[in-house]
Amino acid sequence: MATNEHGEEAYAVPPRRRPLPPALLFGRTFLRHPRMLGSVIPSSRFLVSRVLRQVDWPRTRVVVEAGPGVGTLTGPILERLGGEGSLFAFEMNPTFVSHLRSEIPDRRLTVLHRSAAEAGPVLHERGVGSVDLLVSGIPLSGLTRQARLSLIATWRSLLRPGGVLVIYQFTRSALPELRRVFGQVRQEFEPFNVLPARVFKCMT
């Protein structure tokens, strides 16, 4: 065993493992939980841009992101959010939670290892009364119709008057429930993504 300059036994410190690149981490997680993610690679910059241009950023201070994954949207949201804003990210996958906490050290970001369906009581505990924007890419097609309706209604209850829900999906399966809960739903299509995606803007 090696010794240091004082003749004492020295123990080698193993080098810190480098974090996986986000795309690789996302792809590996997709192979384990395909229904949770819906796509093998993160959203393209074109889809990110289309999602975030739905938002009136000067009027947006409190944001909830449901299912942030590796933070493909999280970083761009923080770039647009004002200095006094808050972003609460609800993520069920512990690997993604660790990744977000270590790779995006922003004081405005709170990463919660909780389901987005629990957002109401969690925000209430933190003194957050209402939300300006809720963003999600969670694939709602994997839920039953009743479960979709319940989750969308829960999200609707979080939003202030004038608040906005923006979600992107790879199918139109959630559209009937979105229209039932919100009434006003605007759709856009983004072809430059794997898979091509539909963006739904739902207004209160």
Average pLDDT, integer, range 121-134: 96
* Residue 30: CB atoms within 10 Å: 18
- pLDDT of res. 31: 42
94, part of any domain: yes
Q: Does residue 154 lie within any of the structural domains?
A: yes
Assess if residue 4 is contained within a domain: no
Domain membership of residue 47 as a residue range:
22-27+35-203
CB 116 within 8 A of CB 138: yes
Domain assignment of residue 104, yes or no:
yes
- Side-chain-side CA neighbours of 80 within 13 Å: the count stands at 20
Angle between helices 175-182 and 145-158 (to 10 degrees): 40
CATH code assigned at 58: 3.40.50.150
C-alpha span between 21 and 186 (Å, rounded): 34
Cα-Cα-Cα-Cα torsion 109, 182, 197, 133, nearest 10 degrees, comes to -20
Count of structural domains, the chain: 1
pLDDT tens digits along 145-199 = 999 999 999 999 999 999 999 999 999 999 999 999 998 999 999 999 999 999 9
What is the pLDDT confidence band of residue 30, given thresholds at 50, 70 and 90? Answer: very low
pTM of the model: 0.82
Identify the residue whose tokens are 């405005």.
108
